[in-house]
Amino acid sequence: QVQLVQSGAEVKKPGASVKVSCKASGYTFTSYGISWVRQAPGQGLEWMGWISAYNGNTNYAQKLQGRVTMTTDTSTSTAYMELRSLRSDDTAVYYCARDGHTVTTGNDYWGQGTLVTVSS
Amino acid sequence: DIQMTQSPSSLSASVGDRVTITCQASQDISNYLNWYQQKPGKAPKLLIYDASNLETGVPSRFSGSGSGTDFTFTISSLQPEDIATYYCQQYDNLGTFGGGTKVEIK
């Protein structure tokens, strides 16, 4: 069965970086992409970006351009999302989700979420 | 960026009621629209893709319609297990979510 298992909760100081992992199993990793979506406490969903596990192409939300980098390791079927220069309003649950391999089309399987807390 | 305006932001209905949520895109997105359900503390779940196609395993009381800029999501007969927040998402240009609609039982 398809599973996306994310790394554990993180606590970071403002200005630091965080890297969240998402290990996929149960499907051919390189036949799909991965999206990252975050949700601040009590707030709605925010689309952060997408990466193709097929060819490494990426698309990022404009507001995060320059601070976010999404990568994949096809040898371990793992996707990564790194967010730099963290601010308090980056505190959120971060989700990875399976997506299309050429463009983002929507997410049929999701990880369990990773809480990232940014606090001094 | 494409903006997605979802309404209402919350609603309260009785079991068995028909529930309708609308989503408006700031520009034509054809049928590139998904609907998700999110229960508290859980990841979202895809219900409808391509504006009107029911994801496998999703009950038939859920449906979607629309194209261009105006979309509708309907629960034909609200059940207690449908209590959740519902989100639309466009994927014509990147992947913007609407603000969400919290559905409660009256």
> Quick one: average pLDDT of A29-57?
97
Residues with Cβ within 8 Å of residue B96, at least 6 apart in sequence: A47, B1, B2, B3, B4, B89, B90
Q: What is the pLDDT of residue A103?
A: 87
Assign B103 a pLDDT band (cuts: 50, 70, 90): very high
Provide the token pair at A91.
Answer: 């505190």
Strands B4-7 and A92-99: unpaired
CA A39 to centroid of chain Cα atoms: 12
Distance from CA of B67 to the nearest CA of A (A): 16
> Quick one: average pLDDT of A41-70?
97
Out of A46, A62, A108, closest to residue B46 by CB: A108
**Do the Cβ atoms of A47 and B89 come within 8 Å?**
yes
Which stretches of chain B sit within 8 Å of chain A by CB?
1, 32, 34, 36, 38, 43-46, 49, 55, 85, 87, 89, 91, 94-100
B35/B63 Cα distance (integer angstroms): 9
Q: What is the pLDDT of residue A64?
A: 97
Residues with Cβ within 8 Å of residue B59, at least 6 apart in sequence: none
Residue percentage of chain A with pLDDT more than 90 = 94
pLDDT of A104 higher than 90: no
Q: What is the pLDDT of residue A68?
A: 98
Residue percentage of chain B with pLDDT more than 90 = 99
Can you tell me whether residue A111 is helix, strand or coil?
A: coil
Instruction: Tell me the pLDDT tens digit for each residue of A78-98.
Output: 999 999 999 999 999 999 999
> Quick one: average pLDDT of B3-20?
98
Mutate to test the interface with A, among B38, B90, B91 (most CBs of A within 10 A): B91
